[in-house]
Amino acid sequence: MSRFIASIAGILITAGLSLSQTTLSKATDFTVTDISGKQQNLYSYLGAGKYVLLDFLSSS
């Protein structure tokens, strides 16, 4: 019985991990203003073949 429960738990954990790790097939385009006042567009960086890292952390 414990082997059965362990098997079910393993299946549920594996299914949960596979559902939580998704990849986007297309990023949503957006434009922001940087600290110099210049407009930055996501697609202009992606179109140039550059990697983009979005950091949503801030401190006050």
Six token digits for residue 5: 């429960």
From its phi and psi, is residue 37 left (phi > 0), alpha (psi between -120 and 50) or beta?
Answer: left
Specify if 17 maps to a domain: no
> Does residue 57 carry a pLDDT above 50?
yes
Domain that holds residue 29: 24-60
The pTM of the full predicted model, rounded to 2 decimals, is: 0.44
Specify if 34 maps to a domain: yes
Measuring CA to CA, which residue among 51, 55, 8 is closest to residue 32? 55
Burial class, 46, CB count within 10 angstroms (exposed 0-12 / middle 13-18 / buried 19+): middle
Model confidence pLDDT, tens digit, residues 38-50: 998 888 888 888 8
Specify if 47 maps to a domain: yes
Query: Scanning the structure block, which residue is given the tokens 């957006």?
Result: 30
Total domains, the chain: 1
Specify if 7 maps to a domain: no
pLDDT band at 53 (very low <50, low <70, confident <90, very high): confident
Model confidence pLDDT, tens digit, residues 4-47: 777 766 665 665 545 444 555 677 888 888 889 999 888 888 88
CB 34 within 8 A of CB 40: yes
